[in-house]
Structure 1
Protein backbone atom coordinates (compact mmCIF):
# COMPACT_ATOMS: atom_id res chain seq x y z
CA UNK A 1 0.00 0.00 0.00
CA UNK A 2 1.13 3.56 -0.72
CA UNK A 3 0.82 6.94 0.97
CA UNK A 4 -0.66 10.00 -0.73
CA UNK A 5 0.84 13.45 -0.22
CA UNK A 6 -1.15 16.63 -0.82
CA UNK A 7 -0.20 20.30 -1.02
CA UNK A 8 -3.56 22.05 -0.56
CA UNK A 9 -4.05 25.47 -2.14
CA UNK A 10 -6.94 27.73 -3.06
CA UNK A 11 -6.52 27.22 -6.81
CA UNK A 12 -4.68 23.88 -7.08
CA UNK A 13 -3.83 20.80 -5.06
CA UNK A 14 -0.48 19.16 -5.65
CA UNK A 15 -0.54 15.36 -5.48
CA UNK A 16 2.31 12.94 -4.83
CA UNK A 17 2.43 9.23 -4.06
CA UNK A 18 4.92 6.98 -2.31
CA UNK A 19 6.12 3.63 -3.49
CA UNK A 20 4.79 0.59 -1.64
CA UNK A 21 7.88 0.35 0.56
CA UNK A 22 7.50 4.01 1.59
CA UNK A 23 11.02 4.83 0.45
CA UNK A 24 10.35 7.37 -2.30
CA UNK A 25 7.93 10.16 -3.03
CA UNK A 26 6.93 10.79 -6.64
CA UNK A 27 5.10 13.89 -7.92
CA UNK A 28 1.91 12.66 -9.54
CA UNK A 29 -0.25 15.53 -10.75
CA UNK A 30 -2.10 18.73 -9.91
CA UNK A 31 -5.84 18.93 -9.32
CA UNK A 32 -7.76 22.13 -10.00
CA UNK A 33 -9.46 23.18 -6.75
CA UNK A 34 -12.67 24.71 -8.04
CA UNK A 35 -15.30 22.33 -6.60
CA UNK A 36 -14.90 20.20 -3.46
CA UNK A 37 -17.10 17.43 -4.87
CA UNK A 38 -14.93 17.13 -8.00
CA UNK A 39 -11.73 17.21 -5.93
CA UNK A 40 -13.03 14.40 -3.73
CA UNK A 41 -14.01 12.37 -6.82
CA UNK A 42 -10.53 12.76 -8.32
CA UNK A 43 -8.86 11.89 -5.02
CA UNK A 44 -11.10 8.83 -4.63
CA UNK A 45 -9.96 7.64 -8.06
CA UNK A 46 -6.30 8.20 -7.13
CA UNK A 47 -6.76 6.38 -3.79
CA UNK A 48 -8.23 3.36 -5.57
CA UNK A 49 -5.75 3.32 -8.44
CA UNK A 50 -2.67 3.59 -6.20
CA UNK A 51 -3.93 1.48 -3.27
CA UNK A 52 -3.53 4.33 -0.75
CA UNK A 53 -3.51 3.52 2.95
CA UNK A 54 -3.19 7.05 4.36
CA UNK A 55 -2.91 10.68 3.30
CA UNK A 56 -0.39 13.32 4.36
CA UNK A 57 -1.43 16.95 3.94
CA UNK A 58 0.91 19.91 4.30
CA UNK A 59 -0.11 22.26 7.11
CA UNK A 60 0.82 25.91 6.41
CA UNK A 61 2.00 27.23 9.75
CA UNK A 62 3.46 30.65 10.47
CA UNK A 63 7.23 30.75 10.96
CA UNK A 64 6.65 30.95 14.75
CA UNK A 65 4.57 27.75 14.57
CA UNK A 66 1.25 29.54 14.98
CA UNK A 67 -1.88 28.72 13.00
CA UNK A 68 -3.43 31.33 10.74
CA UNK A 69 -6.32 31.45 8.31
CA UNK A 70 -4.56 29.18 5.75
CA UNK A 71 -4.04 26.50 8.40
CA UNK A 72 -7.73 26.68 9.39
CA UNK A 73 -8.81 26.33 5.75
CA UNK A 74 -6.49 23.35 5.31
CA UNK A 75 -7.79 21.72 8.51
CA UNK A 76 -11.37 22.05 7.18
CA UNK A 77 -10.26 20.33 3.96
CA UNK A 78 -8.67 17.55 6.05
CA UNK A 79 -11.98 17.08 7.88
CA UNK A 80 -13.68 16.70 4.48
CA UNK A 81 -11.06 14.13 3.42
CA UNK A 82 -11.53 12.05 6.58
CA UNK A 83 -15.31 12.14 6.26
CA UNK A 84 -15.40 11.23 2.56
CA UNK A 85 -12.37 9.02 1.93
CA UNK A 86 -12.41 7.15 5.27
CA UNK A 87 -8.63 7.04 5.53
CA UNK A 88 -6.23 8.30 8.18
CA UNK A 89 -5.05 11.83 7.35
CA UNK A 90 -1.86 13.21 8.87
CA UNK A 91 -0.98 16.90 8.94
CA UNK A 92 2.68 17.65 8.21
CA UNK A 93 4.35 21.00 8.86
CA UNK A 94 5.11 22.51 5.46
CA UNK A 95 7.05 25.60 6.54
CA UNK A 96 9.77 26.53 4.01
CA UNK A 97 8.54 23.95 1.49
CA UNK A 98 7.61 26.59 -1.08
CA UNK A 99 10.96 28.34 -0.78
CA UNK A 100 12.82 25.03 -1.16
CA UNK A 101 10.80 24.10 -4.26
CA UNK A 102 11.28 27.53 -5.81
CA UNK A 103 15.07 27.21 -5.42
CA UNK A 104 15.04 23.84 -7.17
CA UNK A 105 12.86 25.15 -10.01
CA UNK A 106 15.00 28.26 -10.51
CA UNK A 107 18.15 26.14 -10.54
CA UNK A 108 16.54 23.99 -13.26
CA UNK A 109 16.24 27.20 -15.31
CA UNK A 110 12.55 26.65 -16.07
CA UNK A 111 10.32 29.37 -17.44
CA UNK A 112 7.85 31.04 -15.09
CA UNK A 113 4.99 29.10 -16.72
CA UNK A 114 6.83 25.78 -16.37
CA UNK A 115 7.61 26.52 -12.72
CA UNK A 116 3.94 27.27 -12.06
CA UNK A 117 2.87 23.95 -13.64
CA UNK A 118 5.31 21.91 -11.56
CA UNK A 119 5.34 23.78 -8.23
CA UNK A 120 2.29 22.21 -6.55
CA UNK A 121 3.03 18.55 -7.29
CA UNK A 122 6.68 19.03 -6.33
CA UNK A 123 5.61 20.64 -3.05
CA UNK A 124 3.32 17.65 -2.40
CA UNK A 125 6.24 15.33 -3.11
CA UNK A 126 8.50 17.22 -0.69
CA UNK A 127 5.83 17.19 2.05
CA UNK A 128 5.40 13.45 1.56
CA UNK A 129 9.17 12.86 1.51
CA UNK A 130 9.55 14.71 4.83
CA UNK A 131 6.82 12.52 6.30
CA UNK A 132 8.45 9.33 4.98
CA UNK A 133 11.78 10.40 6.50
CA UNK A 134 10.06 11.05 9.86
CA UNK A 135 8.71 7.48 10.07
CA UNK A 136 12.04 5.75 9.34
Structure 2
Protein backbone atom coordinates (compact mmCIF):
# COMPACT_ATOMS: atom_id res chain seq x y z
CA UNK A 1 0.00 0.00 0.00
CA UNK A 2 1.25 3.47 -0.91
CA UNK A 3 1.43 6.39 1.50
CA UNK A 4 -1.35 8.94 1.03
CA UNK A 5 -0.46 11.80 -1.29
CA UNK A 6 -1.86 15.31 -1.47
CA UNK A 7 -2.74 16.05 -5.08
CA UNK A 8 -3.61 19.35 -6.78
CA UNK A 9 -5.90 19.56 -9.80
CA UNK A 10 -5.86 22.47 -12.25
CA UNK A 11 -8.43 23.71 -14.73
CA UNK A 12 -6.34 26.02 -16.92
CA UNK A 13 -7.92 29.05 -18.52
CA UNK A 14 -6.56 32.17 -20.17
CA UNK A 15 -8.20 34.51 -17.61
CA UNK A 16 -8.43 32.21 -14.57
CA UNK A 17 -7.03 28.92 -13.33
CA UNK A 18 -9.15 26.75 -11.08
CA UNK A 19 -7.36 24.81 -8.35
CA UNK A 20 -8.63 21.81 -6.41
CA UNK A 21 -7.01 19.54 -3.89
CA UNK A 22 -7.51 16.08 -2.51
CA UNK A 23 -5.58 13.11 -1.27
CA UNK A 24 -5.19 9.58 -2.48
CA UNK A 25 -6.27 8.02 0.83
CA UNK A 26 -9.77 9.50 0.73
CA UNK A 27 -9.94 9.85 -3.06
CA UNK A 28 -12.11 12.96 -2.77
CA UNK A 29 -11.44 16.24 -4.58
CA UNK A 30 -12.50 19.65 -3.25
CA UNK A 31 -12.37 23.13 -4.80
CA UNK A 32 -9.51 25.15 -3.32
CA UNK A 33 -8.92 28.45 -5.13
CA UNK A 34 -9.18 30.46 -8.31
CA UNK A 35 -5.96 32.03 -9.56
CA UNK A 36 -6.88 35.21 -11.36
CA UNK A 37 -3.68 37.26 -11.33
CA UNK A 38 -2.65 38.97 -14.54
CA UNK A 39 0.64 37.86 -16.05
CA UNK A 40 2.55 34.61 -15.79
CA UNK A 41 4.85 35.67 -12.96
CA UNK A 42 1.95 36.72 -10.75
CA UNK A 43 -0.03 33.58 -11.59
CA UNK A 44 2.87 31.28 -10.78
CA UNK A 45 3.57 33.22 -7.57
CA UNK A 46 -0.04 32.53 -6.50
CA UNK A 47 0.32 28.86 -7.43
CA UNK A 48 3.65 28.65 -5.56
CA UNK A 49 2.00 30.05 -2.41
CA UNK A 50 -0.68 27.33 -2.60
CA UNK A 51 1.93 24.62 -3.20
CA UNK A 52 4.03 25.89 -0.28
CA UNK A 53 0.95 25.93 1.97
CA UNK A 54 -0.51 22.52 1.08
CA UNK A 55 2.53 20.54 -0.11
CA UNK A 56 1.10 18.46 -2.94
CA UNK A 57 3.24 15.61 -4.23
CA UNK A 58 1.51 15.36 -7.61
CA UNK A 59 -0.34 17.68 -10.00
CA UNK A 60 -3.22 16.87 -12.34
CA UNK A 61 -4.03 19.18 -15.26
CA UNK A 62 -7.20 18.95 -17.31
CA UNK A 63 -6.56 18.53 -21.03
CA UNK A 64 -9.39 19.75 -23.28
CA UNK A 65 -10.36 18.15 -26.57
CA UNK A 66 -13.16 18.61 -29.05
CA UNK A 67 -16.01 16.09 -28.52
CA UNK A 68 -14.58 13.92 -31.33
CA UNK A 69 -11.20 13.77 -29.55
CA UNK A 70 -9.44 16.25 -31.80
CA UNK A 71 -7.05 18.74 -30.23
CA UNK A 72 -7.56 22.50 -30.42
CA UNK A 73 -5.71 25.67 -29.36
CA UNK A 74 -6.44 25.22 -25.64
CA UNK A 75 -5.10 21.66 -25.73
CA UNK A 76 -1.65 22.98 -26.63
CA UNK A 77 -1.89 25.77 -24.04
CA UNK A 78 -2.79 23.26 -21.32
CA UNK A 79 0.13 21.01 -22.26
CA UNK A 80 2.44 24.03 -22.04
CA UNK A 81 0.98 24.99 -18.65
CA UNK A 82 1.51 21.41 -17.41
CA UNK A 83 5.13 21.50 -18.61
CA UNK A 84 5.67 24.83 -16.85
CA UNK A 85 4.24 23.45 -13.59
CA UNK A 86 6.57 20.46 -13.81
CA UNK A 87 9.58 22.64 -14.63
CA UNK A 88 8.94 25.23 -11.92
CA UNK A 89 7.91 22.95 -9.06
CA UNK A 90 9.59 19.65 -9.95
CA UNK A 91 6.42 17.67 -9.25
CA UNK A 92 5.01 14.87 -11.40
CA UNK A 93 2.20 16.09 -13.64
CA UNK A 94 -0.61 13.92 -14.99
CA UNK A 95 -2.83 15.09 -17.87
CA UNK A 96 -6.50 14.06 -17.66
CA UNK A 97 -9.06 14.33 -20.47
CA UNK A 98 -11.46 17.07 -19.37
CA UNK A 99 -13.71 16.87 -22.42
CA UNK A 100 -16.98 16.62 -20.49
CA UNK A 101 -16.09 18.20 -17.13
CA UNK A 102 -17.57 21.62 -17.97
CA UNK A 103 -20.90 20.08 -18.87
CA UNK A 104 -21.12 18.62 -15.36
CA UNK A 105 -21.30 22.07 -13.74
CA UNK A 106 -24.48 24.09 -13.85
CA UNK A 107 -23.41 27.67 -13.15
CA UNK A 108 -25.48 30.76 -12.61
CA UNK A 109 -24.77 33.64 -14.95
CA UNK A 110 -21.51 35.36 -13.99
CA UNK A 111 -20.56 32.77 -11.38
CA UNK A 112 -16.90 31.75 -11.32
CA UNK A 113 -16.72 27.97 -11.43
CA UNK A 114 -13.09 27.30 -12.27
CA UNK A 115 -12.28 25.75 -8.88
CA UNK A 116 -15.25 23.38 -9.16
CA UNK A 117 -14.16 22.39 -12.68
CA UNK A 118 -10.71 21.65 -11.25
CA UNK A 119 -12.34 19.47 -8.57
CA UNK A 120 -14.19 17.48 -11.26
CA UNK A 121 -10.94 16.96 -13.16
CA UNK A 122 -9.13 15.85 -10.00
CA UNK A 123 -12.01 13.56 -9.01
CA UNK A 124 -11.83 11.97 -12.45
CA UNK A 125 -8.13 11.30 -11.81
CA UNK A 126 -8.92 9.68 -8.45
CA UNK A 127 -11.73 7.58 -9.94
CA UNK A 128 -9.76 6.39 -12.96
CA UNK A 129 -6.13 6.22 -11.90
CA UNK A 130 -5.89 5.77 -8.13
CA UNK A 131 -6.66 2.30 -6.78
CA UNK A 132 -9.06 2.35 -3.84
What TM-score results when the alignment is normalised by the length of structure 1? 0.86
Q: How many Å separate the matches in 2 of 1:75 and 1:128?
A: 16
Q: Where does 1:1-136 land on structure 2 (aligned, <5 Å)?
A: 1-19=5-23, 21-102=25-106, 105=107, 111-113=108-110, 116-117=111-112, 119-134=113-128, 135-136=130-131
Structure 1 runs, 4 residues or longer, greater than 6 Å off? none
Tell me, yes or no, if the aligned pair for 2:24 and 2:126 is still in contact at 8 Å. no
1:3-32 deviation per Cα after TM superposition (whole angstroms, max 9, x unaligned): 000000011000100036242101011011
- The count of aligned residue pairs is 126
User: Root-mean-square deviation (CA), in Å?
Assistant: 1.4
1:52-96 deviation per Cα after TM superposition (whole angstroms, max 9, x unaligned): 001000001111112111101111111111111111111100011
Task: Specify the SS of the correspondent of 1:64.
Answer: coil
Q: How many Å separate the matches in 1 of 2:90 and 2:66?
A: 29
Task: Specify the SS of the correspondent of 1:112.
Answer: coil
Q: CA deviation at 1:46?
A: 1.0
Tell me, yes or no, if the aligned pair for 1:10 and 1:33 is still in contact at 8 Å. no
Tell me, yes or no, if the aligned pair for 1:9 and 1:33 is still in contact at 8 Å. no
Q: CA deviation at 1:33?
A: 4.9
Q: Tell me, which stretches of 5 or more residues in structure 1 are unaligned? A: 106-110
